[in-house]
Amino acid sequence: MPIKEKTITETPSVNDTTRVATNSGDDRGNTDNRSRGRRPGGHNAGGRREKPKSEFANKILAIRRVTRVMAGGRRFSFSVAIVIGDKKGRVGVGIGKASDTALAIEKATNDAKRNMITVPLTKESSIRHEIAAKYNAARITIAPSVGRGMVAGSAVRIVLDHAGVKDVNAKILSRSKNKLNIGRATIEALKTLNK
């Protein structure tokens, strides 16, 4: 006697329907980047764009927290001194003040770009002659010394490095430890090379 085959019809359960729905290509389970609002490569189309890289290298000289005493209490803000330069002869020192450090750094960078100078360098990336300058209490001298590298300290070294100056010997003659004043004295000294 031949055996009859049974045909069983299954109704899909709740788990099967979700599995079917996710594999059918809707937004939840689709791995195609174009339908999800993303560009190929994983960058979000609607998100923030990356900032273009700046042509200038920067270094923070000093960050100070400044307190103002008001009638309602104390108000805190930040003061940032920054050096920017392309290491090919252009350099600037700027200062920015704001209630948070990120905004103060941005203001200082814009100030440094406005006050940027161009330093005339020799073929050896040195300076032509000895220079000296004074800014407030800071006094410095910078002299060329071919073959010795850069012999300088404090903010003078940072400013000269961002200007691309090599083979110089710099001295801070004052007792001032204020890095902003020393950096600006270096800028004043470098300005005299253009005269």
pLDDT digit string, tens, across residues 168-191: 999 999 999 999 999 999 999 999
In a domain, 186, yes or no: yes
In a domain, 126, yes or no: yes
Contacts of 175 (CB under 8 A, 6+ apart): 137
How high is the pLDDT of residue 40? 57
| SS3 category, 68 | strand
In a domain, 9, yes or no: no
Closest CA to 187 of 82, 63, 55, 79: 82
Number of domains in the chain: 1
Q: Residue 22 — pLDDT band, cuts 50, 70, 90? A: very low
Residue ranges in 39-172 assigned as alpha helix (H) = 101-114, 154-163
In a domain, 21, yes or no: no
How high is the pLDDT of residue 21? 47
CATH number, domain at 165?
3.30.160.20
> Can you say how many angstroms the Cα of residue 22 is from the centroid of all Cα atoms in its chain?
44
In a domain, 123, yes or no: yes
Write the secondary structure of 11-48 as one string of H (helix), E (strand) and C (coil): CCCHHHHHHHHHHCCCCCCCCCHHHHCECCCCCECCCC
- Cα gap 131→96, rounded to integer Å: 28
In a domain, 20, yes or no: no
Quick: pLDDT tens for 79-100. 999 999 998 889 999 999 999 9
Domain coverage including residue 162 = 57-194
pTM more than 0.95: no
In a domain, 29, yes or no: no
In a domain, 23, yes or no: no
Quick: pLDDT tens for 92-133. 999 999 999 999 999 999 999 999 999 998 888 889 999 999
How high is the pLDDT of residue 146? 85
Quick: pLDDT tens for 29-87. 555 555 555 555 555 555 666 666 777 899 999 999 999 999 989 999 999 999 999 98
How high is the pLDDT of residue 20? 45
